[in-house]
Amino acid sequence: MVVGRLAAGFGESQFVTGCVSWSIASVGPQRAGMSMSWTGIAMFAALAVGAPVGMALYQAYGLDAAMVACVVAPLIAAAIAFGSTSYMTPGGQRLPFHRVVGQIWREGLGLMLQGVGLSGLTAFASLYFAALGWGHAGLVMTAFGIGFILIRVLFGHLPDRIGGYRVALWSMVIEAIGQLMIWSAPHESIALAGALVTGLGCALIFPALGVEALKRVLPANRGSAMGAFVAFLDIAYGLAGPVAGFVAGQFGYAAVYLLGAASALLGVVLVSTARRREN
């Protein structure tokens, strides 16, 4: 099981990096933000559809049927990829990976700080609702997803049009507001509204900072830059859970969302500093 999860994690991380790089190459760097927005929509749509489908297969036919579906789905994706147009990476000097990381670490760190709020939402919302006697914890990620996809559909072009730092800064402010709403919620409706606002804020941070990360590297290193950029988000998910668990154990579940708000506000400071350096 452990080896299987490691293999799946390796495949998924490389697949996401490959899809983002592939989509940017197909439409050009001038539409990189839009490309990343729609890639993210596809991923969250997969989570929204895959979870109930998997549960339905499990309940009707058992675990074997659900796992067969998990094997068949990536094979279908591979068939689509093999039959699609391939786009070559532009030629030029290719930097070592550590140097690419050194060029995009500010944007990556901003993405990490954004990921703290989402990690707290996915890992602790059910426990938080149960501790307060609220009964609709299953709607938390639904509310988040509605806000997330709505903003990406309506405003996914903004990072390309007005600049990534500007979009990321205000998105992190909105995320912080959403986290504070959950932290201070007197009723579950306010907490669900906070999850919705968190989704509104998180929606464009990845494409906004991704656009700025791509500006920092030569065309030949865009794939490596995207790989490093995505890795920062993976690190956030890996570290935020244990840290949030410690915070919850010491100060209660609500404090997890205060941590998320503080992280988003730190992201605002980081993005503001990077924006001033750029200007």
Count of alpha carbons within 13 angstroms of residue 140, beta-carbon side? 25
Q: What are phi and psi of 185, to 5 degrees?
A: -65, 125
On average, the pLDDT of the chain sits at 87
In tens, the pLDDT along 141-178 reads: 888 988 998 998 899 889 888 889 999 999 999 999 99
**Within the chain, where are the H helices?**
2-27, 32-61, 63-82, 97-132, 140-155, 158-162, 164-183, 188-202, 205-215, 222-251, 254-278
| Confidence tier at 90 by pLDDT (50, 70, 90) | low
List the chain domain ranges: 2-85+97-278
233 pLDDT higher than 90: no
pLDDT above 90: percentage of residues in the chain:
42
Q: Which two tokens stand for residue 22?
A: 């592939």
**CA-to-CA distance for 158 and 19, rounded, in angstroms?**
21
15 pLDDT higher than 90: no
185 pLDDT higher than 70: yes
**CA-to-CA distance for 124 and 68, rounded, in angstroms?**
29
103 pLDDT higher than 90: no
| Confidence tier at 92 by pLDDT (50, 70, 90) | low
Average pLDDT on 26-33 reads: 77
235 pLDDT higher than 80: yes
**CA-to-CA distance for 146 and 193, rounded, in angstroms?**
11
Average pLDDT on 204-222 reads: 86
Task: Report pLDDT for 257.
Answer: 97
Return the CATH number of 2-85+97-278, one of 3.40.50.720, 3.40.50.620, 3.20.20.70, 1.20.1250.20.
Answer: 1.20.1250.20
Task: Report pLDDT for 88.
Answer: 66
Average pLDDT on 48-73 reads: 87
Task: Report pLDDT for 255.
Answer: 96
**Identity of the highest mean pLDDT range in 139-143, 148-152, 196-200, 241-245:** 196-200
Task: Report pLDDT for 91.
Answer: 62
| Confidence tier at 251 by pLDDT (50, 70, 90) | very high
132 pLDDT higher than 70: yes
